[in-house]
Structure formats: C-alpha cells, structure tokens
C-alpha cells in the first residue's frame, strides 16, 4: 500500500498543475476554516494556507523551487490583482480628493515610523547590517521591498520573508488593535493597515468593508513608492550604506 502511494505521488509531482491545484485547495480550505471560526484573527486564511503548504513540502521532501515552478501562475496574478485595486479606489475618488492632506501626513508618518522603528529596534538587538537592511522595507509590497533591499545591500530573499511575516501580522492584529484603541472609522483603519502591512492586510481590509479595502489599497500603493525613496535615504543617514 505504501509503495503504491509513493508511486502515485511521484506521478502527480511530475504534473505541471499539481502545485497550483494544491495552492488553491490550501487557501480554499483555510478560508473555510476562517469562516467557520467566526473569522478568528489567528486563523487568517493566508497564514493557515502557508502552514498547510509548508507542511506538504516538508512531508513530501519537495524543494521550494519545484513548488514555485508549478505554482508561479499565482505569483503572476499578483500584478493584475494589484491593478484591480484601482476599481474600488475610483469609487471613492471624490472622498479621497477631500482628504488628501490628512492622508499625506498619515502616509509620511506611517512610512517613516515603520522604517525608523525597525532601524532602532534592529540595531538594539544587534542584527547584522545585511539583515537590518533587508528588514527596513518590510512594510512595502514584496517586489518593491526586494528591489529596495538589493539596492541598499540587503538580501532580497530575506526581505521577501520579512514582508510576508509583516503582512500576516498586520492582517491578524491590525483591525483588532485599532478597535482596541477605539478607532471605528473604516477609512482610517483601512489606510493604516495598508500603509503598515501592504497586500495581505489589504485583503483583510476588504473583508471588513469595501471602503476600508479601497483605503488600504491606496495606502499600500503610496507606501510602496515612498518606501523606495525613504529606505535608501534613512540607511545613508544611519551610515549603513
């Protein structure tokens, strides 16, 4: 029986759609668990899906490169999905136009705080320079963070890990933390978690409301651009580059 299962797995592993199918199935399962739990924050679908996929790769002793080759279509769709965030943003265009000044102030404050606090805490913990430089752009989207990390002398692959961890943390703790602080406005909550925790938290904001998701998408996009400018500047001022 064990030999038959092994032979079946070897056959399936050679099929190009296996890892794409397992990725979709893992997320679908995780989303069902999330809904069944009453949307319990610690059961965030992205986190649970990642754990399921990691467990599968470990049990089957599959190299990540093999997995990515089969599931990279999901990675490709990140671009179109990001562009589609413009649709809810357009629906909020007039409201956004009236709020440009407070949004600009919040953007600069949030982006700078994320970078400077990371620099200070990382330095106090004695992180190596390359690790610290990889950590600085953690609140930007993955492609931007990887590019910025490489530009300043960090490790792009390590930056990607930090970005994912930041996004999952923001998706889990962002909205509950803002509620705990007494914040009820969907605009503020959405923009705050979009600036702090990019796409993964933006997806969580859309589950909260479309308006919160629109503001989170705006915060994510603007913070990505600002992070690309601030990280090299702050790293230079700190003498890291």
Q: At what angle do helices 45-60 and 18-36 cross, to 10 degrees?
A: 140
Q: What is the pLDDT of residues 135-175, one digit of tens each?
A: 999 998 888 888 899 999 999 888 888 888 898 888 888 87
Contacts of 147 (CB under 8 A, 6+ apart): 156, 228
Report domain extents, the chain: 2-78, 92-237
**pTM over the 0.85 mark:** no
Distances (CA, A) of 203 to 62, 80, 128, 199, 235: 29, 14, 32, 6, 30
Lowest mean pLDDT: which of 91-95, 123-127, 202-206, 214-218? 91-95
128: region left, alpha or beta (phi > 0 left; psi from -120 to 50 alpha): beta
Q: What is the pLDDT of residues 187-240, one digit of tens each?
A: 888 889 889 888 888 888 887 777 888 888 888 888 988 999 999 999 999 888
Cβ neighbour number for residue 126 with a 10 Å cutoff = 8
Instruction: Copy the structure tokens of residue 101.
Output: 């000044």
Q: What is the pLDDT of residues 46-76, one digit of tens each?
A: 888 889 998 988 888 888 777 877 777 676 6
Q: Is 63 helix (H, G, I), strand (E, B) or coil?
A: coil
Q: What is the rounded distance in angstroms from the CA atom of residue 199 to the CA atom of residue 220?
A: 7
Q: What is the rounded distance in angstroms from the CA atom of residue 116 to the CA atom of residue 108?
A: 12
Max distance between CA atoms of the chain, in angstroms, equals 67
């Amino acid at each position: 029986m064990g030999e038959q299962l092994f032979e079946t797995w070897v056959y399936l592993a050679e099929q190009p759609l296996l890892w794409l199918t397992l990725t979709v199935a893992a997320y679908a399962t995780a989303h069902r668990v999330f809904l069944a739990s009453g949307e319990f924050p610690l059961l965030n679908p992205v986190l649970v899906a990642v754990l399921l996929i990691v467990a599968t790769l470990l049990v089957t002793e599959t190299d990540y490169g093999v997995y990515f080759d089969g599931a990279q279509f999901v990675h490709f769709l990140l671009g179109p999905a990001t562009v589609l965030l413009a649709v809810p943003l357009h629906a909020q265009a007039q409201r956004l136009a009236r709020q440009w000044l407070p949004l600009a102030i919040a953007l600069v404050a949030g982006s700078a705080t994320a970078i400077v606090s990371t620099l200070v805490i990382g330095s106090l913990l004695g992180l190596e320079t390359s690790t610290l430089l990889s950590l600085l752009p953690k609140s930007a989207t993955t492609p931007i963070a990887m590019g910025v990390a490489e530009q300043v002398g960090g490790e792009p692959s390590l930056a990607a890990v930090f970005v994912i961890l930041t996004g999952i943390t923001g998706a889990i703790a962002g909205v509950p933390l803002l509620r705990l602080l007494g914040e009820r406005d969907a605009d503020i909550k959405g923009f705050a978690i979009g600036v702090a925790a990019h796409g993964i938290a933006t997806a969580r904001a859309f589950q909260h409301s479309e308006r919160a998701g629109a503001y989170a998408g705006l915060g994510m996009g603007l913070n990505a651009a600002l992070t690309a400018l601030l990280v090299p500047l702050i790293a230079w001022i700190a003498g890291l580059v």
